[in-house]
């Protein structure tokens, strides 16, 4: 049962990244499943109420900041919700590390995509919708990839991982 529980978060992160890459959207159900999954894990692992409250506060804090960034047009709404749902899993214990990784991965991703967009693509590749969309200079950056990668990087250090894996 432990491996199944431990794979819940990574599976949703992989789905979010793939969805953002292929469609430039992160479905709301991903963030909702992350929230529900965290609450389920908190109950299953007997997380103390105080710890749970701190995790909720971390998620809420990131939600406020991320939606301000969304309001300014700096990130997409799906990115804001994914960041907040991931922060719920992080809690304040590894939130800073998550945000640093997300920034670093996002910066590298952005530079790679912007550099790639300077080159002409073969016509055969440009007939593939997601490649053409990603290559277009007016398309945003699928930042969900960086958010998911950062979430995966910090996951083994979260309270949930430690409780389920017995670390």
Whole-structure pTM value: 0.94
Locate the domains of the chain by residue range.
Answer: 2-165
| Residue 94 burial by Cβ neighbours in a 10 Å radius (0-12, 13-18, 19+) | buried
- Asked whether the predicted pLDDT for residue 4 surpasses 90, the reply is no
Residues 6+ apart with CB under 8 A from 121: 131, 132, 135
Determine the average pLDDT of the residues in 126-131: 93
Q: What is the mean pLDDT of residues 40-61?
A: 96
Residue-wise pLDDT tens digits, 79-102 = 999 999 999 999 999 999 999 999
pLDDT of 167 over the 60 cut: no
Percent of residues, the chain, with pLDDT higher than 70: 99
């Amino acid at each position: 049962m432990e491996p199944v529980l431990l794979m819940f978060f990574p599976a949703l992160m992989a789905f979010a990244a793939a969805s953002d890459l292929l469609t430039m959207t992160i479905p709301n159900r991903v963030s909702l499943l992350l929230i529900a999954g965290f609450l389920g894990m908190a109950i299953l692992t007997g997380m103390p109420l105080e710890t749970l409250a701190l995790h909720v506060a971390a998620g809420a804090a990131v939600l406020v900041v991320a939606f301000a960034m969304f309001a300014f047009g700096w990130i997409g709404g799906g990115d804001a919700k994914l960041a907040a749902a991931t922060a719920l899993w992080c809690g304040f214990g590894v939130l800073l590390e998550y945000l640093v990784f997300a920034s670093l991965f996002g910066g590298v991703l952005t530079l790679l995509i912007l550099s790639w967009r300077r080159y002409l693509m073969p016509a055969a590749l440009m007939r593939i919708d997601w490649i053409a969309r990603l290559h277009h200079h007016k398309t945003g950056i699928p930042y969900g990839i960086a958010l998911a990668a950062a979430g995966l990087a910090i996951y083994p250090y979260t309270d949930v991982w430690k409780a389920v894996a017995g670390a």
